[in-house]
Amino acid sequence: MSARIVLLVTSPRLPAGLLTAAAWDVVRQHPVLVGAESELTTALRVAGAEVTVVDGPAAQALLDTVAAHGTVVWLAGPAGDESLARELGLRLAREPGLAELELMYGSWDPPGARLLDAVAVLDQLASPGGDPWKRAQTHQSLAGYLLEESYEAYDAISAGDTDALREELGDVLLQVVLHARLAEELPEGERWNVDDVAGGLVDKMIRRNPHVFAGAEAGTLEEITANWERIKRAEKARDSVLDGIALSQPALALAAQILDRATRAGLTVPPPPAEADEEAQLGAALLETVATARKSHLDPEQALRRTTLAYAEAIRAAERPLPSS
């Protein structure tokens, strides 16, 4: 067998020692060199691998070892050690026959692995020695930012800008992870963390989608939606069909949701009589407009937003200087 330098790349986000069978075979059978100690080097030694930390030029150490043993493994760092790979590639291209350079993946990042990085970064920022601003925040002080970032994501969706949406969803995720990190500082008995958030979401999705996870018959979209609502009602003991509506949402959207809940429950309730003051009369008129919009299957919030933005553009156009004659 020809001499080989195996560049073994592993995921830093998986538990140390969680390697493929092929990776375990190569590290047990051949000497392993590495640039620094880590949990993985410890796991390899415990399993009987010969691991040596290189103190000096890594490329030359690898070439010396491959000359003595025929095959050597380089345990690449989290960044993949691309500069070392390039250096070895150029050296072996100039001197063919020294060794073959082989890239082996001992483990891969699973989907969602970068979420672990997000949790780790926010933990460092919100821990002692981290960012004073983030450490000073509370759920209450961050509430406005959560709304702001959600609206910016909504704007990206409305504009059809998927690149902007990716960035804005990252800002929303920042708020979620930071809230979860701050909850770890709550008094004993009230604490929760990001795993509790994710675990609750997973449990809820499995419960409410029995047509996917429990072998229930899928049926039509209407039947699936009705089943979702039935399961949701069984989960949450509520005194009213309006329980659970976010009361802090914009008033037009709030009115539409309240009217929708009442309709789905089969309730026909006349609006309260308008009071004498002008604000109450305006509110009654707006509620009637929302009810009319719903009957026409229109979104009043979106309709007003669209018209208002068009009006804003007209104002900007009026502000522009007229072209000189």
The domain segmentation of the chain, as residue ranges, is 4-105, 114-235, 251-318
For the structural domain made of 114-235, what CATH number should be given? 1.10.287.1080
Give the whole-number percent of the chain exceeding pLDDT 70. 99
Give the whole-number percent of the chain exceeding pLDDT 90. 66
Over residues 259-275, mean pLDDT: 83
Q: What is the mean pLDDT of the chain?
A: 91
pLDDT band at 226 (very low <50, low <70, confident <90, very high): confident
pLDDT tens digits along 203-222: 999 999 998 898 888 788 88
pTM higher than the cut 0.85: no
Res. 1: pLDDT tops 70: no
Residue 182 CB partners (closer than 8 Å, separation 6+): 126, 137, 138, 139, 142
183 neighbors 175 (Cβ within 8 angstroms): no
pLDDT band at 325 (very low <50, low <70, confident <90, very high): low
pLDDT band at 266 (very low <50, low <70, confident <90, very high): confident
Please tell me the predicted confidence (pLDDT) of residue 160.
Answer: 95
Res. 77: pLDDT tops 90: no
Level-2 CATH architecture, domain 4-105: 3-Layer(aba) Sandwich (3.40)
Please tell me the predicted confidence (pLDDT) of residue 297.
Answer: 92
Please tell me the predicted confidence (pLDDT) of residue 217.
Answer: 81
Over residues 169-183, mean pLDDT: 97
Question: Nearest Cα to 183, choosing from 142, 234, 244?
Answer: 142
Please tell me the predicted confidence (pLDDT) of residue 239.
Answer: 78
Res. 282: pLDDT tops 60: yes
pLDDT tens digits along 113-170: 999 999 999 999 999 999 999 999 999 999 999 999 999 999 999 899 999 999 999 9
Q: How would you write the chain as a 3-class SS string?
A: CCCEEEEEECCCCCCCCCCCHHHHHHHHHCCEEECCCCHHHHHHHHCCCCEEECCCCHHHHHHHHHHHHCEEEEECCCCCCHHHHHHHHHHHHHCCCCCEEEEEECCCCCCCCHHHHHHHHHHHHCCCCCCHHHHCCCHHHHHHHHHHHHHHHHHHHHHCCHHHHHHHHHHHHHHHHHHHHHHCCCCCCCCCCHHHHHHHHHHHHHHHCHHHHCCCCCCCHHHHHHHHHHHHHHHCCCCCCCCCCCCCCCHHHHHHHHHHHHHHCCCCCCCCCCCCCHHHHHHHHHHHHHHHHHHCCCCHHHHHHHHHHHHHHHHHHHHCCCCCC
Parallel, antiparallel, or unpaired: how do β-strands 4-9 and 100-105 relate? parallel
Res. 270: pLDDT tops 90: no
